[in-house]
């Protein structure tokens, strides 16, 4: 399987910019059983397909559409990183996650929200009960999940020097604001930023409970 030059260039640029996220996803996979993944605001972050067998990517960027349109190239990149390029299932939706998506409700084991806005507010209904939200503090989505009755925190993802682990104990020490502030949807949307916590983590895992 050949990779188009533009496909490889986009992937390598993404990989350089954010670093190899495969260890992040591998840490989550080690801690929790996941098969089906929904990734709104993915751009061309293909790394979930290095770890999980069935991933749906969503983005409005035309470059992402061209990237995933090169199916043979994407499969080759998956194979290069140790995944099963032949068997991998992946789908790309050229869509805005804030609008209704042509996806079933409760169809996914994992919802990824990294640096792409309030994904939990718009896409949680696609996550099955008992499924997981992987979310970082950027843009306030972790804060939104922390006050959302549909979720309970079940893990903190600790990252250091490109390595990650998932802590599932003493979670009460996490998501505690540094400042005496009431975390509300209005506050998060007004500032457009995450909340500074006394104990920092790269990301958090929430289980959908309602």
Residues 88-110: what's their mean pLDDT?
A: 98
The torsion angles phi and psi of 28, rounded to 5 degrees, stand at -65, -45
HSE-CB of 88 using CA atoms within 13 angstroms = 28
Q: What percent of the chain has pLDDT over 70?
A: 100
- Run of H or E residues at 22: helix 22-31
Asked if the model's pLDDT at residue 19 lies above 70, the reply is yes
Over residues 33-54, mean pLDDT = 98
Q: What is the mean pLDDT of residues 49-55?
A: 97
Q: What is the mean pLDDT of residues 139-164?
A: 96
Which residues, other chains included, contact 22 with Cβ-Cβ below 8 Å and sequence gap of 6+?
A: 47, 50, 51, 81
Please choose, from the candidates 157, 158, 124, 128, the residue with its C-alpha nearest in 3D space to the C-alpha of residue 141. Answer: 124
State the Cα–Cα distance between residues 180 and 83, nearest whole angstrom.
45
Least confident of 64-68, 116-120, 169-173, 187-191: 187-191
At residue 1 the predicted structure's pLDDT band, cuts being 50, 70 and 90, is low
| Domain topology for 5-208 | Rossmann fold (3.40.50)
Task: Give the orientation angle of helix 71-80 with respect to helix 5-18, to 10 degrees.
Answer: 50
Q: What are phi and psi of 165, to 5 degrees?
A: -145, 155
- What pLDDT digit, counting tens, does each position of 120-141 carry? 999 999 999 999 999 999 889 9
Nearest partner of 95 among 133, 60, 130, judged by Cα: 60
**pLDDT attached to residue 184:** 87
Residue 174 tokens read as: 């996490």
């Amino acid at each position: 399987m050949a990779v188009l030059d533009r496909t490889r260039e986009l992937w390598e640029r993404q990989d350089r910019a954010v670093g190899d996220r495969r260890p992040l996803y591998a840490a989550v996979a080690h801690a929790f059983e996941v098969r089906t993944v929904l990734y709104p605001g993915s751009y061309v972050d293909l790394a979930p397909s290095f770890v999980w067998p069935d991933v749906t990517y969503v983005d409005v960027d035309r470059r992402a559409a061209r990237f995933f349109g090169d199916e043979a190239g994407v499969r080759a990149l998956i194979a290069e990183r140790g995944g099963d390029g032949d068997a991998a299932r992946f789908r790309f939706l050229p869509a805005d996650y804030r609008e209704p998506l042509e996806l079933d409700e409760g169809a996914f084991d994992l919802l990824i929200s990294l640096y792409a806005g309030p994904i939990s507010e718009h896409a949680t209904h696609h996550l099955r009960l008992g499924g997981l939200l992987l979310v970082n503090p950027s843009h306030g989505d972790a804060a939104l999940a922390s006050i959302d009755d549909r979720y309970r925190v079940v893990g903190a993802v600790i990252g250091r020097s490109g390595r990650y682990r998932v802590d599932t104990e003493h979670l009460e020490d996490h998501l505690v604001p540094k400042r005496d502030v009431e975390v509300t949807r209005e506050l998060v949307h007004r500032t457009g930023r995450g909340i500074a916590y006394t104990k920092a983590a790269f990301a958090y895992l929430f289980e959908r409970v309602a």
